[in-house]
Amino acid sequence: MGLPEKFASIRKGLLEFLILKIVVADKVYAADILQRLSDTEFATQEGTLYPLLSKMRRDGLLDYEWQESDAGPPRKYYELTTKGKSQLAELDDYWKHLNTTVTKLGR
Residue numbers at the binding site for other proteins (CB under 8 A):
9-10, 12-17, 30-31, 44-48, 50-59, 61, 71-73, 76, 87, 90-91, 94
Cβ-based nearer residue to other proteins, 3 or 71: 71
| Three-state DSSP state, 75 | strand
Q: How far is the CB of 65 from other proteins (least distance, A)?
A: 14
Cβ-based nearer residue to other proteins, 2 or 73: 73
Q: How far is the CB of 6 from other proteins (least distance, A)?
A: 13
Q: How far is the CB of 104 from other proteins (least distance, A)?
A: 18
Decide: residue 76, CB within 10 A, 0-12 exposed, 13-18 middle, 19+ buried.
middle
Contact indicator for 57, 64 with CB cutoff of 8 Å: yes
Report helix angle 8-25 to 82-104, nearest 10. 140
